[in-house]
Protein backbone atom coordinates (compact mmCIF):
# COMPACT_ATOMS: atom_id res chain seq x y z
CA UNK A 1 0.00 0.00 0.00
CA UNK A 2 1.35 3.38 -0.93
CA UNK A 3 1.67 6.21 1.55
CA UNK A 4 -0.81 8.28 -0.48
CA UNK A 5 -3.44 5.48 -0.37
CA UNK A 6 -2.82 4.95 3.38
CA UNK A 7 -3.34 8.67 4.09
CA UNK A 8 -6.49 8.69 1.96
CA UNK A 9 -7.93 5.73 3.92
CA UNK A 10 -6.87 7.32 7.20
CA UNK A 11 -8.59 10.58 6.22
CA UNK A 12 -11.75 8.72 5.17
CA UNK A 13 -11.76 6.79 8.44
CA UNK A 14 -11.33 10.00 10.41
CA UNK A 15 -14.25 11.60 8.55
CA UNK A 16 -16.46 8.59 9.16
CA UNK A 17 -15.41 7.94 12.74
CA UNK A 18 -14.45 11.46 13.80
CA UNK A 19 -17.37 12.11 16.16
CA UNK A 20 -17.07 8.62 17.61
CA UNK A 21 -13.38 9.10 18.28
CA UNK A 22 -14.26 11.92 20.66
CA UNK A 23 -15.98 9.36 22.87
CA UNK A 24 -13.06 6.97 23.06
CA UNK A 25 -10.60 7.77 25.82
CA UNK A 26 -7.37 5.82 25.77
CA UNK A 27 -5.19 4.96 28.76
CA UNK A 28 -2.48 7.25 27.40
CA UNK A 29 -5.01 10.06 26.92
CA UNK A 30 -7.71 9.63 29.59
CA UNK A 31 -10.67 11.98 29.67
CA UNK A 32 -10.42 14.62 32.39
CA UNK A 33 -12.55 13.80 35.43
CA UNK A 34 -15.68 15.85 35.95
CA UNK A 35 -17.89 15.99 39.02
CA UNK A 36 -21.53 17.06 38.96
CA UNK A 37 -21.84 19.98 41.37
CA UNK A 38 -25.61 20.36 41.20
CA UNK A 39 -28.54 20.24 38.86
CA UNK A 40 -29.87 23.68 37.97
CA UNK A 41 -33.47 24.17 36.92
CA UNK A 42 -34.68 27.30 35.16
CA UNK A 43 -37.94 28.06 36.93
CA UNK A 44 -40.76 30.50 36.34
CA UNK A 45 -41.39 31.25 40.03
CA UNK A 46 -38.69 30.59 42.62
CA UNK A 47 -41.05 30.74 45.60
CA UNK A 48 -43.45 28.19 44.07
CA UNK A 49 -40.57 25.82 43.18
CA UNK A 50 -38.95 26.34 46.57
CA UNK A 51 -42.19 25.33 48.33
CA UNK A 52 -42.37 22.16 46.20
CA UNK A 53 -38.77 21.06 46.86
CA UNK A 54 -39.09 21.83 50.56
CA UNK A 55 -41.86 19.19 50.61
CA UNK A 56 -39.14 16.75 49.48
CA UNK A 57 -36.87 17.70 52.40
CA UNK A 58 -34.65 20.36 50.77
CA UNK A 59 -33.60 23.56 52.49
CA UNK A 60 -32.02 26.78 51.26
CA UNK A 61 -28.24 26.76 51.33
CA UNK A 62 -27.83 30.12 49.56
CA UNK A 63 -29.99 32.69 47.83
CA UNK A 64 -28.44 35.33 45.57
CA UNK A 65 -29.86 37.93 43.23
CA UNK A 66 -27.79 39.75 40.63
CA UNK A 67 -28.13 42.13 37.73
CA UNK A 68 -27.44 40.56 34.34
CA UNK A 69 -26.17 42.16 31.17
CA UNK A 70 -27.83 40.21 28.35
CA UNK A 71 -25.27 41.49 25.83
CA UNK A 72 -22.11 40.36 27.62
CA UNK A 73 -23.41 37.27 29.44
CA UNK A 74 -22.67 34.10 27.45
CA UNK A 75 -25.45 32.03 29.10
CA UNK A 76 -27.68 31.08 26.12
CA UNK A 77 -30.98 32.48 27.36
CA UNK A 78 -33.85 33.11 24.95
CA UNK A 79 -34.76 36.47 26.52
CA UNK A 80 -32.94 39.73 27.22
CA UNK A 81 -33.43 39.30 30.99
CA UNK A 82 -31.58 41.82 33.14
CA UNK A 83 -31.93 40.09 36.52
CA UNK A 84 -31.22 36.60 37.82
CA UNK A 85 -31.86 34.83 41.11
CA UNK A 86 -30.15 31.58 42.13
CA UNK A 87 -31.35 29.58 45.11
CA UNK A 88 -29.20 26.55 45.95
CA UNK A 89 -30.93 23.79 47.88
CA UNK A 90 -29.42 20.93 49.83
CA UNK A 91 -31.13 17.91 51.34
CA UNK A 92 -31.76 18.05 55.08
CA UNK A 93 -30.46 14.45 55.16
CA UNK A 94 -27.01 15.70 54.13
CA UNK A 95 -26.89 13.07 51.37
CA UNK A 96 -27.14 13.40 47.62
CA UNK A 97 -26.63 16.27 45.25
CA UNK A 98 -27.69 19.87 45.37
CA UNK A 99 -30.38 21.57 43.36
CA UNK A 100 -30.23 25.08 41.95
CA UNK A 101 -33.39 27.04 41.20
CA UNK A 102 -32.59 29.76 38.66
CA UNK A 103 -35.09 32.48 37.77
CA UNK A 104 -34.43 35.14 35.16
CA UNK A 105 -36.56 38.26 35.10
CA UNK A 106 -37.02 41.68 33.55
CA UNK A 107 -38.33 40.08 31.33
CA UNK A 108 -39.11 36.48 32.26
CA UNK A 109 -38.04 34.11 29.45
CA UNK A 110 -40.79 32.18 27.69
CA UNK A 111 -41.14 28.45 28.21
CA UNK A 112 -39.46 26.41 25.45
CA UNK A 113 -41.64 23.36 25.71
CA UNK A 114 -45.40 23.26 26.21
CA UNK A 115 -46.81 21.87 29.43
CA UNK A 116 -47.47 18.18 29.03
CA UNK A 117 -48.42 15.09 30.98
CA UNK A 118 -45.63 13.23 29.17
CA UNK A 119 -41.86 13.46 28.76
CA UNK A 120 -39.74 12.82 25.72
CA UNK A 121 -36.16 12.71 24.53
CA UNK A 122 -34.10 15.51 26.01
CA UNK A 123 -36.35 16.00 29.03
CA UNK A 124 -34.72 15.57 32.44
CA UNK A 125 -35.97 13.16 35.09
CA UNK A 126 -34.79 13.91 38.62
CA UNK A 127 -34.61 10.81 40.83
CA UNK A 128 -34.87 11.28 44.59
CA UNK A 129 -34.17 8.73 47.32
CA UNK A 130 -37.02 8.95 49.84
CA UNK A 131 -37.49 7.13 53.13
CA UNK A 132 -41.30 6.71 52.94
CA UNK A 133 -42.90 6.92 49.49
CA UNK A 134 -46.45 6.44 50.82
CA UNK A 135 -46.19 9.31 53.33
CA UNK A 136 -44.52 11.61 50.80
CA UNK A 137 -47.17 10.78 48.20
CA UNK A 138 -49.92 11.81 50.65
CA UNK A 139 -48.03 15.01 51.46
CA UNK A 140 -47.63 15.98 47.79
CA UNK A 141 -51.29 15.21 46.99
CA UNK A 142 -52.43 17.32 49.98
CA UNK A 143 -50.24 20.19 48.71
CA UNK A 144 -51.87 20.02 45.26
CA UNK A 145 -48.80 18.74 43.40
CA UNK A 146 -49.29 17.12 39.99
CA UNK A 147 -48.78 13.47 41.02
CA UNK A 148 -48.74 10.88 38.22
CA UNK A 149 -49.63 7.70 40.16
CA UNK A 150 -49.85 6.13 43.60
CA UNK A 151 -46.70 4.45 44.92
CA UNK A 152 -46.01 1.21 43.06
CA UNK A 153 -44.30 -1.74 44.73
CA UNK A 154 -41.28 -3.19 42.98
CA UNK A 155 -39.54 -6.40 43.97
CA UNK A 156 -35.78 -6.43 44.25
CA UNK A 157 -33.49 -9.34 43.45
CA UNK A 158 -31.72 -8.53 46.69
CA UNK A 159 -32.41 -10.35 49.91
CA UNK A 160 -31.57 -9.30 53.43
CA UNK A 161 -29.15 -11.15 55.73
CA UNK A 162 -31.94 -13.60 56.66
CA UNK A 163 -32.71 -14.36 53.00
CA UNK A 164 -35.97 -12.37 52.99
CA UNK A 165 -37.18 -10.80 49.73
CA UNK A 166 -36.68 -7.04 49.45
CA UNK A 167 -39.15 -4.61 47.90
CA UNK A 168 -39.35 -0.88 47.44
CA UNK A 169 -41.83 1.73 46.27
CA UNK A 170 -41.73 4.30 43.51
CA UNK A 171 -44.00 7.02 42.15
CA UNK A 172 -43.73 10.03 39.87
CA UNK A 173 -44.82 13.66 40.03
CA UNK A 174 -44.18 16.85 38.07
CA UNK A 175 -42.58 19.87 39.71
CA UNK A 176 -44.24 23.29 39.19
CA UNK A 177 -42.33 23.83 35.91
CA UNK A 178 -43.17 20.42 34.46
CA UNK A 179 -39.94 18.56 35.29
CA UNK A 180 -40.63 14.87 35.95
CA UNK A 181 -39.62 13.75 39.43
CA UNK A 182 -39.13 10.09 40.37
CA UNK A 183 -39.48 9.38 44.08
CA UNK A 184 -37.83 6.10 44.93
CA UNK A 185 -37.96 4.31 48.28
CA UNK A 186 -35.06 1.87 48.45
CA UNK A 187 -35.81 -1.84 48.81
CA UNK A 188 -36.44 -3.08 52.36
CA UNK A 189 -37.16 -6.56 53.71
CA UNK A 190 -40.75 -7.62 53.16
CA UNK A 191 -42.40 -7.86 56.54
CA UNK A 192 -44.22 -11.10 57.19
CA UNK A 193 -47.60 -10.95 58.96
Q: Using DSSP, state whether 10 is helix, strand or coil.
A: helix
Nearest Cα neighbor of 130 from 122, 121, 138 is: 138
Per-residue pLDDT of the chain (193 residues; tens, 9 = 90+): 544 444 344 444 444 445 555 555 566 778 889 888 999 999 999 999 999 999 999 999 999 999 999 999 888 998 999 999 999 999 999 999 999 999 999 999 998 888 889 999 999 999 999 999 999 999 999 999 999 999 999 998 888 888 888 999 999 999 999 999 999 999 998 876 6
Q: Which of 78, 80, 47, 44 is nearest to 63 (CA)?
A: 47
Alpha helices in the chain (DSSP H): 3-21, 46-55, 133-142
**Measured between alpha carbons, how far apart are the two ends of the chain, in Å?**
77
Among the listed residues 79, 81, 83, the one whose alpha carbon sits nearest the alpha carbon of residue 112:
79
CA distance 41 to 33: 23
Rounded CA separation 135/139 (Å): 6
Q: Return the pLDDT at 142.
A: 98
Looking at 16-161, which runs of residues are DSSP E strands? 38-42, 58-67, 83-91, 98-105, 125-130, 146-147, 152-159
Long-range contacts of 31-39 (CB under 8 A, 24+ apart): 36/97, 37/98, 38/88, 38/97, 38/98, 38/99, 38/100, 39/97, 39/98, 39/99, 39/100, 39/124, 39/126
| pLDDT for 140 | 98
Amino acid sequence: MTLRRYLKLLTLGTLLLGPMSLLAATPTNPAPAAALLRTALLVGDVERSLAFYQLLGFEVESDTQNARNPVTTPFPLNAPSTAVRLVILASRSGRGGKLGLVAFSAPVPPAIRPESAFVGRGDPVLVFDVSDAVALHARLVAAGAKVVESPLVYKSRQTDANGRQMEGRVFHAFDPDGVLIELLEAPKPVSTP
